[in-house]
Amino acid sequence: MPEDSNLLLSMYKTMVKVRQFESMAGEYFAAGDIPGFIHLSIGQEGSSVGICSALRDDDYVATTHRGHGHMIAKGADLNKMVAELFGKATGYCKGKGGSMHIADFSIGILGANGVVAGGLPIITGAGLSIKYRKTDQVAVVFFGDGASNRGPVHEAMNMCAIWNLPVLFVVENNQWASTTPQTYSCSVGDLCTRAAGYGIPGVAVDGNDVLAVREAALEAVARARAGEGPTFIENKTYRIRGHFEGDPQKYRKEAEVKAWQDEKDPINRYTKLLTQKKLLNKTKIQTIWDEVKAELDAALDFAKSSPFPKPEDALNDLFSNPY
């Protein structure tokens, strides 16, 4: 367990940042300020922050349609993120991507992905590139229990295993693939057991325990950097919000959602732990939440005051070598 109190507190702050970002996004989406669809990761902050706390800036991450948390935990710029959600010219993708297609190549974020499991073949390529270039970077892909049933996952696990690539497969088993329960759609309860079929170490982690996730990530990252190949981590967690904002959620009972909140909530659990360690108290907690809110408010101001792209900008950025 890491004992560096600055690190522990900074992880806490990042979790709060993800939570507040997602709450803000839900609020502004409901108000009609954010077009399209958004998928929120509230309740899954233990996974995003725990994994990314073990990474360097030059490590790669490929994420999903539910990717805001991973982006923030990897160090993405809030101004550019909010602006992208709002469809503004100052957003990460100048308004061409939106919530499901944010990337920041300057800090190794190879992109969110609108295609379920779309990140796995790409991260395999990133892993191959690392090996080819002989650096000690690692490449991490996040995906969900729903994605775990798609073909590319299995191709990627096999390929990363045979080539011993420095890759972390992180499945966030949040129990629901859109409206379909994991217990129905997956042939096994513990998705990490599938790793054995590819000769990859697989581990199930309490995904709402951010330090347990970090520990698993540190171990996997160390293996990867040492040239010992891929690791499969299953973070067992829960999707508190609907699949998308506005999801009527007729497929599950409120009591089930409730059971994963409060005491099982990753931020509440971590707050309790850090309070016991005397790293947090009520005043400190308030200060951190206020600081994050101020940062987010500034990002909102930035986004709101930013211009929309010019319509004809839709024709730019297609090719690096245009004709």
Partner 1 sequence: MSERKISASAALAEALHDEMSQDESIYILGEDLTAHAGIFGQFKGLPEAFPGRILDTPISEMCIVGCGVGSALTGMRPIVDLHFSDFVTCAMDELCNQAAKIRYMFGGQVKLPMVVWCPDGAGLRAAAQHSQSLESWFVHTPGVKVVVPSEPADVKGLIKSAIRDDDPVMFFQHKRLFAKEGPVPEDKDFIIPLGQAAVKREGSDVSLLTYGSGYYLCAQAAEELAKDGIEAEVVDLRTLKPLDMDTVAQSIKKTYRAVIVHEACVTGGFGAELAARIQSELFDYLDAPVGRVGTKDVPIPFSPPLEDFVLPSVADVIEAAKAVAYR
Query: Which residues bind to partner 1, rule: CB under 8 A?
Result: 60, 62, 91-97, 101-105, 110-111, 113-115, 118, 120-130, 132-133, 139, 151-152, 155-156, 158-159, 162, 316-321, 323
CB proximity list for 24: less than 8 A, separation 6 or greater: 82, 296, 300
Give the nearer residue to partner 1 in terms of CB position, either 108 or 202: 108
Least distance between partner 1 and beta carbon 96 (Å): 5
* N-term to C-term CA, the chain: 55
CB of 318 to partner 1, least distance (A): 5
Closest to 238 (Cα-Cα) out of 181, 194, 195: 181
The rounded Cα 271 to chain-centroid distance in angstroms is 20
Q: Are 189 and 181 in contact (CB under 8 A)?
A: no
For residue 150, the SS3 value is coil
What is the number of other CB atoms lying within 10 angstroms of the CB of residue 308? 12
Q: How far is the CB of 108 from partner 1 (least distance, A)?
A: 9
Please say which residue, 75 or 114, places its beta carbon nearer to partner 1.
114
Nearer to partner 1, 59 or 245 (CB): 59
SS3 of residue 250 by DSSP = coil
CB of 315 to partner 1, least distance (A): 10
Task: Report whether 160 contacts 230 (CB < 8 A).
Answer: yes
We find the least distance from the C-beta atom of residue 302 to partner 1, in angstroms, to be: 16
Sign for the pseudo-dihedral over CA of 117, 70, 141, 102: positive
Nearer to partner 1, 123 or 288 (CB): 123
Is the CB of 58 or the CB of 263 nearer to partner 1? 58
